[in-house]
Chain A
Amino acid sequence: MTWKGSFVCWLVAALLAAVYVGTADEPPAARDLPGVAPRTPVPRERGYEIDPAALRSVEVRRGERAVLLERGDRAWKVVEPADRTIPGGLVQAFVDQLVDGGESERVADDAANPAYGFESPQLQVTATDSRGKRLTLVVGTRTPTGTAAYGRIEEDGIVVLVGLNLLYYADLLLG
Chain B
Amino acid sequence: MRRRLPSPRRVSALLRKELHATFAQPLLYVVGGVFLLLAGYYFYSDLGFFITFGFGQNIFENFFQLLFVDLRLVLLLTVPLLTMRLFAEERKLGTIELLFTYPLSDLEILLAKLIACTAAACALLAATAASLAYLYRIEPFAFGPVFTGYLGLALLAVSFVACGTFLSTLTDNQVVAAMSTVGTLLLLWILSWNEAAPGIATLGFLSRLSIFNHFESFSRGVIETKDLVYFGCLVAFAAAATLASLGSRAWPRSRLAPTVVGLLGLLVALGIVDALAERHNVRFDLTPQQRYTLSPHARRILEKLSQPVELIAFVRSGDPRNASTADLLERVGEVSSLIKHRVVDVNRNPALARRYGVDAFGAIVVATADKHRVVGNAREHLVVGAILQLTRDTRKVVGFVGGHGEMDPRDADRQRGLTTLASGLRDDGFDVRAVTLDGGVPDDVSVLVVAGGTSPWSDGELALLDEWMERGGRLLALLDPRQAPELAGWLARRGIAPAPNVVLDPENRLYGGEGVSIEAGPPAEIAALDAEQPSSGVITSELSQGVLLSTARALELSSGAVPLLQSGAESWATTAIGRAESGDVEYDEVSDTRGPLVVAAAREWPVAAAPDRAAARVVVIGDVDLATNRFIEFLSNRPVLHNAITWLAGEEALIALRPERKKMGREQLFLSAGQARTALLLATVALPGMSLLAALALYLWRRAVA
Residues on A close to B: CB < 8 A?
1-3, 5-6, 8-10, 12-13, 16-17, 19-20, 23, 28-29, 32-37, 39-45, 105, 107-108, 113-116, 141, 143-146, 148, 150, 161
Contacts and interface: CB of A to CB of B under 8 A. Distances in A.
Contacts of B350: 35, 113, 115-116, 141, 143-144, 150
Contacts of B263: 1, 9
A41 B259 contact: no
B376 to A, nearest CB: 13
B343 A35 contact: no
B322 A3 contact: no
B272 interface: yes
B702 interface: no
A43 B318 contact: yes
In order of increasing CB-CB distance, the 4 nearest A-B pairs are A9-B265, A6-B262, A144-B353, A115-B351
Contacts of B510: none
B261 interface: yes
Interface stretch (B115-123, B273-281, B437-445, B688-696): B273-281
B348 A108 contact: yes
B268 interface: yes
Interface residues of B, number: 47
A7 B268 CA distance: 13
12 contacts: A6-B262, A16-B276, A17-B268, A20-B279, A33-B352, A34-B351, A39-B344, A43-B200, A44-B318, A113-B350, A145-B361, A150-B350
B346 A143 contact: yes
A136 B264 CA distance: 47
Given A41-B344, A105-B317, 12 more contacts: A1-B255, A1-B259, A1-B262, A9-B266, A9-B269, A10-B268, A13-B266, A13-B269, A105-B347, A141-B350, A144-B347, A161-B347
A34 B349 CA distance: 8
Contacts of A107: 345, 347-348
Interface in B246-287: 247, 255, 258-259, 261-266, 268-269, 272-273, 275-276, 279
Contacts of A9: 262-266, 269
B317 A44 contact: yes
Nearest to A12: B269
Contacts of B491: none
B459 interface: no
Contact of A43 (B195, B351, B360): B195
B343 A16 contact: no
B348 A33 contact: no
A84 to B, nearest CB: 35
Given A41-B345, A115-B351, A17 B358 contact: no
Contacts of A16: 269, 272-273, 276
A1 B343 CA distance: 46
Contact of B268 (A1, A13, A146, A148): A13
A20 B276 contact: yes
Main secondary structure of the interface of B (DSSP, over half): helix
Which of B264, B273, B317, B360 is the most central at the interface, judged by chain A CB atoms within 10 Å of its CB?
B317
A155 to B, nearest CB: 21
Given A9-B269, A16-B276, A23-B279, A44 B348 contact: no
Contact of B258 (A3, A23, A32, A148): A3
A42 B261 CA distance: 33
A108 B200 CA distance: 14
Given A13-B268, A13-B269, A16-B276, A37 B351 contact: no
Contact of B340 (A29, A43, A108): A29
Contacts of B706: none
Contact of A144 (B244, B279, B354): B354
B349 A36 contact: yes
A37 B273 contact: no
Interface in B106-137: none
Interface of B: 195-196, 200, 203, 244, 247, 255, 258-259, 261-266, 268-269, 272-273, 275-276, 279, 314-315, 317-318, 322, 326, 340, 342-355, 358-361
Which of B247, B342, B347 is the most central at the interface, judged by chain A CB atoms within 10 Å of its CB?
B347
A13 B353 CA distance: 42
A2 B272 CA distance: 23
A107 B307 CA distance: 34
Contact of A41 (B196, B317, B352): B317
A10 B672 CA distance: 62
A157 to B, nearest CB: 15
Contact of B348 (A13, A29, A37): A37
B343 A148 contact: no
A41 B279 contact: no
A54 B273 CA distance: 51
A37 B262 contact: no
Contacts of B314: 144
Contacts of B340: 29
Nearest to A17: B272
Contacts of B347: 105, 107, 143-145, 148, 161
Contact of B261 (A6, A113, A145, A150): A6
B105 to A, nearest CB: 15
Contact of A115 (B255, B261, B262, B354): B354
B314 to A, nearest CB: 8
Contacts of A13: 265-266, 268-269, 272
Contacts of B359: 144-146
A9 B342 CA distance: 37
A17 B343 CA distance: 27
A28 B265 contact: no
Contacts of B268: 10, 13, 17
A100 B662 CA distance: 43
Which of A3, A43, A143 is the most central at the interface, judged by chain B CB atoms within 10 Å of its CB?
A43
A42 B344 contact: no
A5 B258 contact: yes
Contact of A36 (B247, B275, B344, B361): B344
B629 to A, nearest CB: 30
Contacts of A146: 359
A145 B362 CA distance: 11
Contact of B315 (A23, A29, A41, A45): A41
Contacts of A41: 315, 317, 322, 343-345, 348
Contact of A40 (B247, B326, B354, B358): B326
Nearest to A34: B351
Contacts of A35: 348-352
A16 B272 CA distance: 6
A10 B360 CA distance: 48
B269 A20 contact: no
Contacts of B244: 1
A162 B279 CA distance: 37
A44 B343 CA distance: 15
A32 B367 CA distance: 14
Contacts of B259: 1, 6
B272 A43 contact: no
Contacts of B349: 33, 35-37
Nearest to A29: B340
Contacts of A45: 200
Nearest to B310: A29
A39 B57 CA distance: 34
A115 B353 CA distance: 10
A10 B265 contact: yes
A37 B448 CA distance: 47
Contacts of B355: 33
